[in-house]
Amino acid sequence: MNKLFRFSFITMLMITVLASCSKDDDVNVIEPVAATINANFGEEFDNKSIENIEVKLESVGGTDSYTANTTTEGKASFDAVNPGTYNVKATIQFTKEKYEEFFGIPTSEDVVNFSGVVEGVSINLDVNEHTVSLKTSRIGNLLFKQIFYAGSSLFDGAGFRDMFFEIYNNSNEVIYADNLYFGQVYGRTTTSVKEYTLANGQFDWSKSIGQTKGAGSNTNYTYADHVFKIPGTGNQYPINPGESIVVAATAINHKEPLVVGDQTYSVNDPSLTVDLSGADFEINMVNYLNSIGKTPLDSDVDNPAVPNLDVVFHTNAKDLILDPLGRDSFIIFSTDEIESFDKLPTPQTTEIVEGTKRYIQIPNSAIIDGVETNKPDPTSRSPRRLDTSVDGGVASVPLGHYSSQAIIRKVAKTFGDRKVLQDTNNSENDFEVVNVPVPGAWK
């Protein structure tokens, strides 16, 4: 009996011990876990991040809250987080200098706040890593990427027929090109000082007949002689971040402009000019000029596959003709009230008669980007047309008119595939020269 009693006692003891040794996974027992939250600025920025982003975990329906800062790789580590459902909040505040250095986009704010929220994430033993993207208001905007105004050789190239400009989405969001306005800025070309000019020889628009903007007429407004508008209902023509649209004076392959039957005719030296047959938009004034009873330009041909820009305002051009010497300046702007913009004569006009030419007055606050161009030789330049708040410098091509050279913006930063172009509002620093531009491509 003793032997049987001893055997069952040990067995029961073992079972008891074993049973009490086993872990109890009952919901009433909670243990904290380690979690990692990745905070970065999103795919458009190639998922780059920075240190010291404050990441907060706030439990949903509970009172738990944890805070940690990211490393330079953007990882915020939490050592002990009670498993549960949380809202992740990430914030960071950039100073102006840090922001511009990181993103390559200038800002006029002193501080820029980023924040990102992901709601209802589970943190437990199995799922302990999440990502949150931080955003602020759109970073970057549309700007001029490339402007080809000098034209190519008059005898061997395409003269002034191959001019184009390229508008680039320098931001991290899709921007629609619909209803974007492009303007050619008007100004005086000599530096002589008269009673109707400023000290640098440029028109003193505050003296124009009908001017209502007083002392700010020169600094707060820009005067254009030609304005074109990209058509669209509002979301017909998206430009993805890092992509661009090309607007051509004539959207054909200028290297081989004539295809008759199965014969192709090229210009004398095709390497001097460009292929604009893939342009996104074209400026063709034939119908517009015919409708106002003027004769169109013979070389303004139409590529039926490329949509044409609307002609909004013009003084005397017959196509998109940029001054090959560079004495234009260019702006893109956006507005809903273009009809209300004043149209004023130059201050040189002392009497308004029927034939007086007028120029449309555009507030600088509507301007998205402006580029000032001029002749390469600084001693023979005409006075600047854009106020320094729009463009503080001057871009030019060293070989001058009909040289096939164009200006293209420098690259400030690269986020994966997406390039961010330099825009310090100074075209002298922001642009460089390319010998023969390639529309839509890089140097």
Partner 1 sequence: MKAKISFSIFFFFIVINSFGQFRGKVLDNETKQPLRDVLVKDQGSLRWTVTNENGYFEFPVKVYPITFKFHLLGKVDVIKTYKSLPKENIIYLKEDNLKIDEVVVTAKRSKKSTGSNIVLEKQAIELVQAQSLADVMQLIPGKSISESNLHERQILTLRTAIFDEGQANNTDKGLGASNNPYLINNSFGVGYVIDGVPINNNVSLSGGRGSYLGIFNNATANNSVGMGLDLKNLSLENIESIDIVQGISSAKYGDHNTGLIKINKAHGHTPFRFSSTLRGGSIGASLSKGVSLGENTGFLNLGLDYLKSDSDPRNSISNFDRINFSSSWFKQEKGKYRNTLSFSYGQHLNADNSVANSISDRRKKVDNNRFRISNNHKRYYKNSFVNELEALVSLDYSINKTFNSVRKNNGGEPVLNSYTEGTYEATYTPVAFRAHENIENKPFSFFTKIEASKVFSLNETKFKISLGGTFGIDKNFGRGNFNEADQKLLGNSSSSGGSAFRNVNFNDIVPADKKISTYLTTNIKSTLFGKLWASELGLRYDNYNKIGTFSPRFNTTLKFNNQFKARFGFGLFAKSPALQTLFPGEVYYDYVLADYRTNQYSFALAHTFVREYENPDIKPSKTIKYETGFDYNHEYFHASVTGYFNKQYDGFTNQSTFEIAELPVYEYTFYEDRKPDYVQTGTTPTVLRYSKPTNALNSKNLGLELLIGTRKIKAINTRFSLSGSYRYTNTFSDLDGYVFSEESDSEAFIGVHKATPNTYETINSSITATHHISSIGLVITLTAEQFWMSNYRSSSYNVNPFAYYDRDLNYFEIPESERGNDKYIPIRRSASSAGGVNSNRSKIFANYHLKLAKEFDNGLRVSFYAVNFLNHLPKLEEVNSDGTISIRELNRPISFGGSITYKF
Where along the sequence are the contacts to partner 1 (CB under 8 A)? 154-159, 161, 250, 252-254, 256-260, 265-268, 277, 291-295, 298-299, 301-305, 348-356, 402
For the beta carbon of residue 201, count every other beta carbon within 10 angstroms: 17
CA dihedral 248, 251, 253, 258 (to 10 degrees): -140
Cα atoms in the 13 Å half-sphere on the side-chain side of 17: 6
By beta-carbon proximity to partner 1, the closer residue of 170 and 284 is: 284
By beta-carbon proximity to partner 1, the closer residue of 110 and 354 is: 354
For β-strands 244-248 and 367-372, DSSP reports them as unpaired
Q: For residues 166 and 247, give the distance between their C-alpha atoms in angstroms, rounded to a whole number.
A: 6
By beta-carbon proximity to partner 1, the closer residue of 153 and 364 is: 153
By beta-carbon proximity to partner 1, the closer residue of 27 and 260 is: 260
In the complex, what is the shortest distance from the CB of residue 46 to partner 1, in angstroms, rounded to a whole number?
Answer: 36
Q: For residues 182 and 177, give the distance between their C-alpha atoms in angstroms, rounded to a whole number.
A: 11
In the complex, what is the shortest distance from the CB of residue 145 to partner 1, in angstroms, rounded to a whole number?
Answer: 24
What does the DSSP 8-state code read for residue 391? -
In the complex, what is the shortest distance from the CB of residue 228 to partner 1, in angstroms, rounded to a whole number?
Answer: 20
By beta-carbon proximity to partner 1, the closer residue of 146 and 303 is: 303
By beta-carbon proximity to partner 1, the closer residue of 16 and 266 is: 266
In the complex, what is the shortest distance from the CB of residue 155 to partner 1, in angstroms, rounded to a whole number?
Answer: 6
In the complex, what is the shortest distance from the CB of residue 156 to partner 1, in angstroms, rounded to a whole number?
Answer: 7
By beta-carbon proximity to partner 1, the closer residue of 30 and 305 is: 305
In the complex, what is the shortest distance from the CB of residue 163 to partner 1, in angstroms, rounded to a whole number?
Answer: 13
In the complex, what is the shortest distance from the CB of residue 294 to partner 1, in angstroms, rounded to a whole number?
Answer: 8
Q: For residues 396 and 327, give the distance between their C-alpha atoms in angstroms, rounded to a whole number.
A: 10
CB 74 within 8 A of CB 114: no
Diameter of the chain measured on Cα atoms: 134
By beta-carbon proximity to partner 1, the closer residue of 207 and 409 is: 207
CB 404 within 8 A of CB 267: no
Q: For residues 10 and 131, give the distance between their C-alpha atoms in angstroms, rounded to a whole number.
A: 54
Q: For residues 244 and 226, give the distance between their C-alpha atoms in angstroms, rounded to a whole number.
A: 22
Element spanning 73, H or E: none
By beta-carbon proximity to partner 1, the closer residue of 173 and 302 is: 302
CB 247 within 8 A of CB 309: yes
In the complex, what is the shortest distance from the CB of residue 106 to partner 1, in angstroms, rounded to a whole number?
Answer: 40
**For 191, phi and psi rounded to 5 degrees?**
-100, 5
Q: Which two tokens stand for residue 305?
A: 């596959």
In the complex, what is the shortest distance from the CB of residue 252 to partner 1, in angstroms, rounded to a whole number?
Answer: 5
Please list, in sequence order, all residues whose beta carbon lies within 8 angstroms of the beta carbon of residue 263, skipping any fewer than 6 positions away: none
What does the DSSP 8-state code read for residue 125? S
Amino acid present at 357: K
In the complex, what is the shortest distance from the CB of residue 370 to partner 1, in angstroms, rounded to a whole number?
Answer: 29
Q: Is 239 left (phi over 0), alpha (psi -120 to 50) or beta?
A: beta
By beta-carbon proximity to partner 1, the closer residue of 78 and 281 is: 281
Please list, in sequence order, all residues whose beta carbon lies within 8 angstroms of the beta carbon of residue 348, skipping any fewer than 6 positions away: 194, 196, 203
